[in-house]
């Protein structure tokens, strides 16, 4: 069976159980790019991400003899929930290995969907090694997060939906980790709509695909550090690699600032909660020009997931606001005399900045005996207003050091 037949078979299998997620227009991104932009909301999928598509397709296709021995998976969260939900829906026992640092909400949700969960190691690779050992010892089937054709076919059903919902779509932008989603989308578009430009997006600090494509084979990264844990995969899968090489989609990267700004935009303007990995496609539209992306026709950005720890969400919102010029953290040296702080705050009041936090420090070795340092956190109206505030303070004679 060729790849498009497998994707179409997966779509038929999934139709009764998987949500047909909506596409939502984004005027702010359309204004920015000069193209019609739509968001494919897989963050509203069952379990909060696209992962159940591949997981259900893989498990439902297991022979009866394999089903009785159960399934096992390794994941930081989204694949774990997808496997747990799919297995429980099909009446099959599931075991999931998750890293020790997995987000608590994802851990709790995976157990709630019916899986037995063990926390092992610090990374997905360590959890995956434990899952493989479990599979060998018990006979359970390992449901890999991306390296199996049933997974690729299941994820590819997203492309079929998009082509039905947006028949004239010209560009598809896809968050990319191990490659299952990108491979499925690219394969479907190559066969059914070869006019469509497909772009994969990786987190810059966890980008295994550029080096692997250059080497002509999957190669591991030495290290990864990114808030986008959903696409933090150290080595592309063999099966996705084969299809991605054939389809040759463009693959690019975005940095952490772009990811946090994109998450903030989704929340503020689209009223959609997404996780950092889920916002990667939007980050590309914000961080790069339409010319750099070579956009064509209407654009669809896939929001691949919305399972974000509220604690991380709080930090990312703060980071996003700072990156967007909406927060200003600064150290200001003033005279240690009565009224000096009042004068500083009055100057800030004239700029229209909102003071969120103020702290005094007299202990800095760099301070003169009659000086005090004031640590300020301000809310501004954007980059231009932020620059105006700094200029006003400088013109008023204050020595200001901006905190990163």
Q: What positions carry a catalytic annotation?
A: 51, 304
Instruction: Using alpha carbons, select from 157, 162, 187 the residue that is nearest to residue 172.
Output: 162
Instruction: Using alpha carbons, select from 214, 219, 277, 220 the residue that is nearest to residue 251.
Output: 214
- Cβ pair 301, 23 in contact under 8 A: no
- Cβ pair 56, 11 in contact under 8 A: no
**In 3-state terms, what secondary structure has residue 98?**
strand
Q: What tokens does 102 get?
A: 């997995």
Instruction: Using alpha carbons, select from 209, 130, 122 the residue that is nearest to residue 174.
Output: 209
**In 3-state terms, what secondary structure has residue 382?**
coil
383: number of CA atoms within 13 Å, CB side? Answer: 3
- Cβ pair 320, 327 in contact under 8 A: no
Note the Cα 149 to chain centre separation in Å: 23
**In 3-state terms, what secondary structure has residue 141?**
strand
CA 298 → CA 30, 162, 171, 266, 278, distances in Å? 9, 12, 6, 19, 20
Measured at the CA of 154, the angle between CA 149 and CA 157, to 5 degrees, comes to 130
Pairing of strands 94-98, 71-74: parallel
Query: Which residue in this structure is represented by tokens 């747990």?
Result: 84
CA 39 → CA 13, 89, 263, distances in Å? 25, 28, 13
What residues have CB less than 8 Å from 352, skipping those under 6 apart? 381, 385
Q: What tokens does 399 get?
A: 């020595």
180: number of CA atoms within 13 Å, CB side? Answer: 28
């Amino acid at each position: 069976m060729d790849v498009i037949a497998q994707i179409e078979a997966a779509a038929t299998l999934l139709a009764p159980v998987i949500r047909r997620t909506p596409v939502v227009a984004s005027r702010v991104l359309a204004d920015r790019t000069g193209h019609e932009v739509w968001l494919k909301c897989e963050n509203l999928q069952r379990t909060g991400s696209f992962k159940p598509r591949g997981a259900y397709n893989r498990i439902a296709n297991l022979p009866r003899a394999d089903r009785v021995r159960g399934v096992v998976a390794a994941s930081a969260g989204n694949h774990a929930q997808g496997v747990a939900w799919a297995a429980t829906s099909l009446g099959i026992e599931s075991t999931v290995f998750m890293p020790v640092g997995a987000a608590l909400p994802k851990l709790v949700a995976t157990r709630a969907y019916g899986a037995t969960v063990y926390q092992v190691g610090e990374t997905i690779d360590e959890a995956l090694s434990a899952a493989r050992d479990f599979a060998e010892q018990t006979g359970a089937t390992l449901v890999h997060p991306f390296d199996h054709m049933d997974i690729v076919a299941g994820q590819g059903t997203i492309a079929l939906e998009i082509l039905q919902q947006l028949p004239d779509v010209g560009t598809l932008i896809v968050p990319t980790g191990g490659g299952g989603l990108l491979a499925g989308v690219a394969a479907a578009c190559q066969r059914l709509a070869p006019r469509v430009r497909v772009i994969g997006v990786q987190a810059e600090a966890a980008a295994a695909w550029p080096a692997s494509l250059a080497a002509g084979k999957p190669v591991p990264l030495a290290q990864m550090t990114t808030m986008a844990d959903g696409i933090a995969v150290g080595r592309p899968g063999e099966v996705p690699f084969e299809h991605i090489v054939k389809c040759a989609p463009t693959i690019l990267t975005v940095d952490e600032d772009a990811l946090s700004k994109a998450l903030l935009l989704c929340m503020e303007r689209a009223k959609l909660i997404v996780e950092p990995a889920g916002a990667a496609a939007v980050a590309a539209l914000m961080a790069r020009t339409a010319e750099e992306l070579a956009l064509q026709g209407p654009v669809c950005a896939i929001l691949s997931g919305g399972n974000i720890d509220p604690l991380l969400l709080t930090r990312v919102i703060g980071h996003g606001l700072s990156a967007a010029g909406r927060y200003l953290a600064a150290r200001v040296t003033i005279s240690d005399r009565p009224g000096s702080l009042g004068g500083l705050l009055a100057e800030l009041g004239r700029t229209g900045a909102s003071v969120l936090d103020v702290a005094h420090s007299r202990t800095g070795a760099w301070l003169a005996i009659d000086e005090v340092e004031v640590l300020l956190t301000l809310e501004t109206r954007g980059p231009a207003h932020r620059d105006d505030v700094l200029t006003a303070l400088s013109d008023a004679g204050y020595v200001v050091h901006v905190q990163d």
